[in-house]
């Protein structure tokens, strides 16, 4: 009996599998032909044969029966095939993961005229090494789908209703509202307007579609201050909206940072006492591992100014998330 305190076991044989040979093996198994596999891999038939021969030598097993009709996997070949496909799949996932980390951060801003784009620009200036691609969508429903499917990494929207489980959200900004009126409108000469002054009037919001998160916001705002929302169309875009306001037929609300077309007969007046603020959230998928995402989340969090109930108005559903914690 050995005097050694430890038992000695034979070391397992390590085989360094060549992915190129594995890929050739799978191609031959799929095509049942060395020549067809060569075409698929853009190689010579001799090169494919050499890779299979090397793999059989490394494994000490015959993987194919060669026949005049082509090639059929042996029993050992059939056992290997399932694992070979998994190996190739893992290799593709590893390469894709690295490529995904190097690509630009894809951020949805809903509309490039809105304040969300300013937040992205500020992040880009602060983090010049982070490449960013900006996209637009039709609102929260489309954004949720894009995040869940990985088509975008982050998105700015007002959050309405419960958040889907795969997604996460953080308060991003509170944007004051302005009133847009014609220069000859009774309110056109004022430097500020209180929301209560709009009671009994109608504010034109042709972009307010049923179920939209911004539609809900303006409905709550109108109910709080006693005015009506006119969502009648058609909605021909910002230029047409400004033209209608210039004619004195309509008044509308826009975000303080929203980039509207200039018109000499249209004025923007801040709403005050209180200041209505539009709540914007940053949303992302909790499994997203893009290296720039955490920096964007941190950047937005640092810039956020909390809700001030003494000075601002915010819909009741949004208040808790945007109120400063003690």
Does 11 map to a domain? no
Q: What is the DSSP string of 98-114?
A: HHHHHSPEEEE-S-TTS
In the chain, the number of structural domains is: 2
Q: Are residues 207 and 76 in the same domain?
A: no
List Cα–Cα distances, 315 to 27, 91, 160, 221, in angstroms: 60, 50, 11, 7
pTM, full prediction? 0.70
Does 6 map to a domain? no
Q: Are residues 68 and 199 in the same domain?
A: no
Cis, peptide link before residue 175, omega less than 30° from 0: no
pLDDT digits (tens, 9 = 90+) for 258-281: 999 999 999 999 999 999 999 999
Residue 70's domain comprises 19-101
Q: Are residues 95 and 140 in the same domain?
A: no
pLDDT digits (tens, 9 = 90+) for 110-158: 999 999 999 999 999 999 988 999 999 888 989 999 999 889 999 999 9
Does 75 map to a domain? yes
Q: 54 with 20: CB under 8 angstroms?
A: no
Q: Are residues 196 and 256 in the same domain?
A: yes
CATH number of the domain that 35 lies in?
Answer: 1.10.10.10
Q: Are residues 148 and 291 in the same domain?
A: yes
Q: Are residues 154 and 97 in the same domain?
A: no
Q: Are residues 73 and 168 in the same domain?
A: no
CATH number of the domain that 116 lies in?
Answer: 3.40.190.290
The mean predicted confidence, pLDDT, of the chain is 89
pLDDT digits (tens, 9 = 90+) for 52-94: 999 999 899 999 998 877 899 999 999 999 899 998 888 887 7
Domain final residue, candidates 32, 66, 101: 101
Q: Are residues 178 and 292 in the same domain?
A: yes
Q: Are residues 93 and 146 in the same domain?
A: no
Q: Are residues 294 and 185 in the same domain?
A: yes
Does 256 map to a domain? yes
Q: Are residues 45 and 119 in the same domain?
A: no
CB atoms near residue 281 (< 10 Å): 23
CA distance 197 to 225: 8
Q: Which two tokens stand for residue 297?
A: 């989340």
Q: Are residues 47 and 148 in the same domain?
A: no
Cβ burial 148-172 (10 Å sphere, 16+ → b, else e): eeeebbbbbbbbbeeeeeebbeebb
């Amino acid at each position: 009996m050995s005097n050694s305190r430890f038992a000695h076991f034979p070391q397992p044989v390590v085989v360094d599998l060549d992915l190129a040979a594995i890929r050739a093996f799978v191609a031959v198994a799929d095509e049942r032909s060395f020549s067809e596999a060569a075409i698929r891999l853009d190689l010579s038939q001799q090169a494919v044969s050499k890779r299979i021969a090397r793999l059989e030598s490394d494994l000490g097993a015959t993987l194919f029966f060669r026949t005049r009709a082509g090639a059929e996997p042996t029993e050992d070949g059939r056992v290997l095939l399932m694992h070979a496909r998994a190996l190739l799949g893992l290799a593709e996932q590893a390469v894709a993961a690295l490529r995904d980390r190097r690509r630009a951060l894809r951020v949805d801003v809903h509309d490039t005229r809105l304040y969300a784009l300013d937040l992205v620009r500020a992040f880009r200036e602060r983090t010049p090494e982070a490449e960013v691609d900006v996209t637009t969508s039709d609102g929260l429903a489309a954004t949720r789908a894009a995040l869940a499917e990985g088509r975008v990494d982050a998105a700015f929207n007002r959050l309405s209703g419960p958040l889907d489980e795969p997604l996460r959200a953080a308060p991003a900004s509170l944007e004051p509202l302005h009133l847009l009126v014609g220069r000859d409108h009774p309110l056109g000469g004022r430097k500020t307007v209180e929301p209560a002054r709009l009671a009994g009037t109608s504010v034109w919001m042709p972009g307010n579609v049923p179920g939209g998160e911004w539609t809900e916001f303006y409905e709550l705002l109108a109910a709080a201050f006693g005015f009506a929302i006119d969502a009648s169309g058609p909605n021909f875009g910002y230029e047409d909206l400004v033209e209608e306001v210039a004619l004195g037929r309509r008044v509308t609300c826009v975000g303080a940072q929203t980039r509207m077309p200039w018109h000499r007969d249209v004025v923007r007046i801040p709403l005050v006492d209180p200041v209505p603020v539009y709540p914007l959230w940053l949303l992302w998928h909790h499994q997203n591992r893009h290296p720039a995402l955490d920096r964007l989340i941190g950047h937005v969090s640092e810039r956020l100014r909390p809700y001030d109930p003494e000075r601002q108005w915010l819909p009741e559903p949004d208040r808790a998330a945007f109120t400063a914690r003690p």
